[in-house]
A and B are shown apart, each in its own frame.
Chain A
Amino acid sequence: DGGITQSPKYLFRKEGQNVTLSCEQNLNHDAMYWYRQDPGQGLRLIYYSQIVNDFQKGDIAEGYSVSREKKESFPLTVTSAQKNPTAFYLCASSTTGGESPLHFGNGTRLTVT
C-alpha cells in the first residue's frame, strides 16, 4: 500500500521469543525508518537507515535490531531483551533524510504474552 509493505498485519508471540517484522518498499527511497506507537501516544523512532548497509539508533533502540542489506528492505527484530514489546510498529521511507515526506506502511500490531 503506497509502495511500502509491512507484514504481517497482526503478530502474536510468546514472551522470550525473538520476532522479525518485515518492511519492503518499491519507491526507490534511500531512507527507511522504524517507529513504535503505543495506544494514545505519538511516534517514537527506533532505528533509521539513510543508505544500504548503514543504520543508526533512534530514541528507543534498546531491545531491537535491524539490518539494511538491500535498498528496498529494512527488517526489524524485536528481541527478548525488549521489556514491553507489545505495540503498533510502523515502517516508513523517504527520498532523503528528515526533510522529505515520509511514506508509511500500514503497520504491524505485535502482541507478546
Chain B
Amino acid sequence: GENVEQHPSTLSVQEGDSAVIKCTYSDSASNYFPWYKQELGKRPQLIIDIRSNVGEKKDQRIAVTLNKTAKHFSLHITETQPEDSAVYFCAGSNYQLIWGAGTKLIIKP
C-alpha cells in the first residue's frame, strides 16, 4: 500500500544552523504534500504545503522542495531558533493523507 517514510527520526542542530528533514513516498499519484509542526502536548499545525505542479515553495525561514521523479520532498528550516524545537510530520496525499512517522527537532543553544 501507500507509504511515506520520514528521516531522520531525531535531528539535533545548533541554534542558527539549518535543519533538513526528508520524506519519500511510494504512490506516484500523490499530488499534495503538507508539513505539520507539533509542539509538546499540543495539536499539529500546518506550517507549509506544496502541490505537485510546483518544485519549491518558501515562507520566510521555511522552504519545501519536491522531486516528483525521485518521489521525495524535503523541509528546510534556516537560521533555526529555540521555538523551532518540535516534532515535524510530513504527509503525502492522493485523495487520502498518508503520514510520515515524525522527526523530533532539537535546537541546541
Query: Given the complex, which residues of A lie within 8 Å of B46, measured CB to CB?
Result: 101-102
Cβ-defined contact, B32 with A98, below 8 A: yes
A105 contacts chain B at the CB level, 8 A cutoff: yes
The CA of A45 and the CA of B46, in the complex, are separated in Å by 17
The CA of A91 and the CA of B88, in the complex, are separated in Å by 18
Cβ-defined contact, A90 with B96, below 8 A: no
The CA of A106 and the CA of B46, in the complex, are separated in Å by 14
Cβ-defined contact, B97 with A102, below 8 A: yes
B44 contacts chain A at the CB level, 8 A cutoff: yes
A27 contacts chain B at the CB level, 8 A cutoff: no
Cβ-defined contact, B31 with A99, below 8 A: yes
Q: Mark A2-24, 1 if CB is under 8 A from B, else 0.
A: 10000000000000000000000
Give the Cβ gap from B48 to chain A, nearest Cβ, in Å. Answer: 10
Give the Cβ gap from A3 to chain B, nearest Cβ, in Å. Answer: 12
Give the interface centre of B43, B89, B95, B96 by most chain A CB atoms within 10 Å: B43
Query: Given the complex, which residues of A lie within 8 Å of B100, measured CB to CB?
Result: 42
Give the Cβ gap from B43 to chain A, nearest Cβ, in Å. Answer: 4
Give the Cβ gap from A94 to chain B, nearest Cβ, in Å. Answer: 9
Partner of A106, one of B43, B96, B99: B43
The CA of A45 and the CA of B49, in the complex, are separated in Å by 20
Which residue of chain A lies nearest to B32 when distances are taken between CB atoms in the complex?
Answer: A99
Q: Mark B81-109, 1 if CB is under 8 A from A, else 0.
A: 00000000100011111011110000000
Q: Contacts A101-B49, A105-B43 given: A41-B101 contact, CB under 8 Å?
A: yes
Query: Given the complex, which residues of B lie within 8 Å of A98, measured CB to CB?
Result: 32, 93-97
Cβ-defined contact, A43 with B44, below 8 A: yes
Cβ-defined contact, A104 with B97, below 8 A: no
B61 contacts chain A at the CB level, 8 A cutoff: no
Cβ-defined contact, B43 with A42, below 8 A: no
The CA of A43 and the CA of B98, in the complex, are separated in Å by 9
Contacts beyond the supplied A42-B101, A43-B99: 8 A-B pairs with Cβ under 8 Å: A42-B89, A90-B43, A97-B96, A98-B97, A99-B95, A101-B46, A104-B45, A107-B43
